[in-house]
């Protein structure tokens, strides 16, 4: 009986010390950098989009998952070329249809630790209401009582219904074909003290 009580106390203590919890991201410091380009030209565009909110799920000292919401209205072009016209086009139905789909979502469903500074993640990415699984790696850094998660990955935009000037369209003019690949560089910064 004493062993059972001691075991229960031990489990309770460990749950208290290393229990489940959440850590919110700092939406002012967290950002997604995007890159797109023409397929047969040296013509690259890049910019940023911001998060509305985001939360990592923790158990003990380990990340178990996360939920992140992206504000698609915050898309900007930072390469200095065709800024207003390009952003307007990215927001319309040819690309992200922001009027009807103002948010995108990323849900981390599984995490595997490569080492204590890098994780491999499986996630569900929702754009324009379409959800597909993706995989990526994230590095983890400590900075001023916060944690910084960085990742780079590429998606095929056509999987999310973004077909404009795709190489898969028969009537696309070769010079105007836009690469189906969109590159993302994600920086997630947790709030200090969380």
Residue 7 clears pLDDT 80, i.e. is over it: no
- Is residue 72 assigned to a domain? yes
- Is residue 167 assigned to a domain? yes
Mean pLDDT, residues 31-41 taken together: 81
Total domains present in the chain: 1
In this prediction, residue 194 has a pLDDT band, given cuts at 50, 70 and 90, of: low
- Is residue 163 assigned to a domain? yes
Q: Residue 86: give its domain's CATH number.
A: 2.40.128.110
- Is residue 13 assigned to a domain? no
Give this prediction's pTM.
0.83
Secondary structure (DSSP) of 24-66: EB-TTT-EEEEEEEBSSSS-EEEEEEEEEEEEEEEETTEEEEE
- Is residue 113 assigned to a domain? yes
Residue 78 clears pLDDT 60, i.e. is over it: yes
Domain that holds residue 121: 19-189
State CA 160 to chain mean position distance: 15
Q: Please name which of 77, 24, 91 lies closest in space to residue 47, comparing C-alpha atoms.
A: 77
User: For position 39, what pLDDT does the model report?
Assistant: 63
- Is residue 117 assigned to a domain? yes
Mean pLDDT, residues 168-173 taken together: 50
Residue 41 clears pLDDT 80, i.e. is over it: no
- Is residue 89 assigned to a domain? yes
Instruction: Specify which of 6-20, 41-55, 141-155, 173-187 reaches the highest per-range mean pLDDT.
Output: 141-155
- Is residue 157 assigned to a domain? yes
Tell me if residue 167 falls in helix, strand or coil.
coil
Tell me if residue 77 falls in helix, strand or coil.
strand
**Contact (Cβ atoms closer than 8 angstroms) between residue 140 and residue 118:** yes
**Contact (Cβ atoms closer than 8 angstroms) between residue 24 and residue 194:** yes
């Amino acid at each position: 009986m004493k062993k059972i009580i001691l075991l229960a106390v031990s489990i309770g203590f460990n749950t208290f010390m290393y229990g489940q919890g959440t850590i919110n991201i700092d939406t002012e410091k967290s950002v997604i950098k995007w890159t797109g380009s023409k397929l047969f030209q040296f013509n690259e565009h890049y910019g940023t989009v911001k998060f509305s909110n985001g939360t990592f799920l923790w158990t003990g000292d380990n990340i178990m998952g996360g939920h992140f919401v992206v504000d698609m209205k915050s898309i900007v072009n930072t390469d200095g070329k065709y800024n207003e016209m390009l952003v307007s086009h990215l927001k319309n139905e040819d690309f992200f249809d922001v009027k009807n789909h103002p948010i995108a979502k990323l849900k981390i469903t599984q995490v595997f630790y490569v080492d204590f500074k890098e994780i491999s993640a499986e996630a569900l990415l929702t754009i324009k209401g379409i959800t597909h699984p993706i995989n990526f790696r994230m590095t983890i850094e400590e900075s001023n009582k916060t944690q910084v998660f960085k990742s780079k990955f590429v998606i095929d935009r056509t999987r999310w219904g973004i077909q404009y000037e795709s190489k898969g369209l028969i009537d696309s003019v070769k010079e105007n074909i836009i690469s189906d690949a969109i590159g993302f560089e994600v920086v997630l910064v947790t709030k200090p003290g969380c």
